[in-house]
Structure 1
Amino acid sequence: MSNPEDYTVGWICAITAEYVAAQVFLDEKHDRPAYLPPHNKNDYALGRVGKHNVVVSVLPMGEYGTSSASRVAEDMMHSFPNIRIGLMVGIGGGAPSQKHDIRLGDVVVSIPRNGQGGVLQYDFGKTIQGQAFEPSGFLDQPPTILRAAVNGLEAHYESEGNQLDETVHKILEKKPRLRRKYQRPDLASDQLYRSQVVHPVDGDSTCALSCGEDPSYLVPRSPRTDDDDNPAIHYGLIASANQLMKDALIRDKLAAEKDVLCFEMEAAGLMNHFPCLVIRGICDYADSHKNKAWQGYAAMVAAAYAKDLLCQIIPQHVEQEAKIVNIPMEGNHYPTITFGNYNSGVQIGTNDGSINATFGAR
């Protein structure tokens, strides 16, 4: 059985597809530990990536958002007390703009921008009519060791190009049962609708049927050439909240005001007490046209990037980092209420701060 003291990297996923992707990129799989504290209900996959021993965990089925991610991270770092660095790896919704040509299957990495630590909690702050959204509180930036590795890997990719798509393809050749869900979809399915085009609320059919294929509904984009990285890697601000972003107008507003590249639902619950880097594969455009066709591939390409990143880091440097469990909590922390899929609940009592609420399913 594995010794929990041997693991120095914590890797957190939100959904099953991300958990599968993380596990297939382990160079070596380890047995589960013989014992975990009774209160720790997390599921774990243990193994080695490069020269690092990694523990991977996933949020409980049906739970989403910052509070659930925070609980999983807390149990992980207490049960594996030598974890020094963390990764949050999975899928997200892209925020394409004229400045950032973000496409399905690309990867976004949380890097500090515009006075933000790499992750912006956009459901905690204030919006004044005619003014930009102003967040309340501050989320810590990723540890220096991870940001340095991102810089080194970016330089390598710029010189040699990334091999992420080829790496995913090789994995799927070894595991053909995963191809149907995790291989790269037809590029023709990567369509970016104009922000004013809204998918019908009761429309269960595809966008091609519900929204039509009128070219005027789509944002024209030139195909990427052989000289372009595909998937491309984007570095900057990731927006996080206890709500699923499906509004192209709000997406565009935050992209314009805050230079947001991506939207997701877990990272804001981690940054101030589980120092980590957030890596997101783009599976949709954070609009009403969401579908799951690209989720598998996006999870795989994010995991492939995470593996390249870990291989960039010297194990001795990780050992020199403080144990995450010993790092004092800093920044603003807010109580959270999470309701289930029926979108109803009652909270009775008093609270001196602010409350984040999670409603519904992902």
Structure 2
Amino acid sequence: MTTCTALESPDLYTIGWIAALPIERAAATALLDERHESDTNSYTWGRMGKHNIVIASLAAGVYGTTSAATTASSLLSSFPQIKIGLLVGIGGGIARPDDGADIRLGDIVVSQPVGASGGVVQYDLAKAKSNNTRERKDFLNRPPLVLLHALAALQAEQPIKGFKVPRLLEEMWKVYPLMAKSTKSVPGFVHQGSENDRLFNPSHQHAGGRDCHGCDLKEEVQRDMRDSTDPEVFYGIIASGNTLVKDAAVRDQIVEYIGEGCLCVEMEAAGLMNHFPCLVIRGICDYADSHKNDRWQSYAAATAAAFGKELLGYVPVKILQETRRAVDLLQSS
């Protein structure tokens, strides 16, 4: 990555990239092809492929749908020519190995419309009714067409060329070797070893400690070894809400509410979909259960960011120029 002075005007930046955590912003920054110097620490400016992008992160220690919405609003105010956005970071995977969703840690989940859902469902927004049922109040906007077309193009090329994500990660580690270093106390932006990727039956609670060495081996879900540690990509519904999910019973209740297409849970997307035309990309860092820990977070942030970069390569500059500005789209809605 090279560094140069900022472009002449904020109007030359057309893509907004939102990351909740510092590690998510770090991964995105490391994947820039060119970093642009600026006079503010609020955003990271740069070029990714043919696109000039602005990377924004939430205030330290402040998460959730409201914080994400505030960040997006400030971003569009500072960069009025932004057309589309990406929300890229980590999330909890909803793994169902026997039902076609054999999600592993480090894999990638992308929000994609399914039926009446736009790809993101807010699971904690429903209206209770008198007969003890719930009325759905969670229908959110779909991602912008320019990103859905790019996603379709990427999916069509994948069986022919494969994903670029592994190569992009290798390049990142080469340019920034510090990110490839990993210790037990400070995990790096690299795969953390299949032996540390353990999925347990929902009823089995974590035995305590930083890892699962004390957890019952008999309660571990047995899964076939993969031929490679390269991340796989899943497309479907992402569940979003203001509660950090770290209980398998709660996680499974969310799936029951949303449906089998639900692949991931996280805390920011629902605050953006109706206020910021974007696609959500999540690297899986845990299984949203009591066994949740931080070991896989940096690597999951890196895989998600690499997929985001690959996807932007399928967004034509001319089509993006013809796309309505995000601020205009919101004012007319």
> Given the two structures, how large is their TM-score scaled by the length of structure 2?
0.90
Shift of 1:162: 1.4
Shift of 1:173: 2.0
Q: Aligned pair 1:208/2:207, yes or no? A: no
- Alpha-carbon spacing, 1:10–1:242, altered in 2? closer, same or farther (3 Å): same
Shift of 1:247: 1.6
Contact 1:273 1:329 in 2 (8 A): no
Cα distance in 2 for partners of 1:237, 1:137 equals 12
Contact 1:117 1:141 in 2 (8 A): yes
Matching residue of 1:264:
266
Cα distance in 1 for partners of 2:332, 2:282 equals 25
Q: Describe the SS at the equivalent of 2:236.
A: strand
Matching residue of 1:13:
19
Shift of 1:127: 6.6
Residue segments in structure 2 that go unaligned for 5+ positions in a row = 1-5, 183-187
Contact 1:96 1:103 in 2 (8 A): yes
Matching residue of 2:240:
240
Q: Describe the SS at the equivalent of 2:29.
A: helix
Matching residue of 1:125:
126
Q: Describe the SS at the equivalent of 1:208.
A: coil
Cα distance in 1 for partners of 2:82, 2:285 equals 29
Match of 1:186 among 193, 201, 207: 193
Q: Describe the SS at the equivalent of 2:213.
A: helix
Q: Describe the SS at the equivalent of 2:146.
A: helix
Match of 1:30 among 28, 32, 36: 36
- Alpha-carbon spacing, 1:189–1:133, altered in 2? closer, same or farther (3 Å): farther
Range 56-65 or range 176-185, more displaced: 176-185
Contact 2:88 2:305 in 1 (8 A): yes
Q: Describe the SS at the equivalent of 1:327.
A: helix
Contact 1:120 1:135 in 2 (8 A): no
Contact 2:121 2:138 in 1 (8 A): no
Cα distance in 2 for partners of 1:205, 1:27 equals 36
After superposition, the C-alpha distances for 1:106-149 in whole angstroms (9 at most, x for unaligned) are 10000011311110000101578999865314210000110111
Contact 1:182 1:297 in 2 (8 A): yes
Cα distance in 2 for partners of 1:252, 1:130 equals 23
Contact 1:224 1:230 in 2 (8 A): no
Percent identity of equivalent pairs: 43
Contact 1:112 1:141 in 2 (8 A): yes
Shift of 1:167: 2.1
Residue segments in structure 1 that go unaligned for 5+ positions in a row = 37-41, 332-362
Q: Describe the SS at the equivalent of 1:188.
A: helix
Matching residue of 1:67:
66
Cα distance in 1 for partners of 2:128, 2:159 equals 39
**Counterpart amino acid of residue 148 in structure 1:** H
Please list, as runs of the form range in 1=range in 2, the aligned pairs for 1:243-322 lying within 5 A after superposition: 243-256=243-256, 257-258=258-259, 259-322=261-324
Shift of 1:326: 1.4
- Alpha-carbon spacing, 1:295–1:29, altered in 2? closer, same or farther (3 Å): same
Shift of 1:330: 8.0
Shift of 1:208: 1.2
Cα distance in 2 for partners of 1:126, 1:94 equals 26
Cα distance in 2 for partners of 1:232, 1:273 equals 29
Q: Describe the SS at the equivalent of 2:172.
A: helix
Cα distance in 1 for partners of 2:327, 2:253 equals 37
Shift of 1:284: 0.5
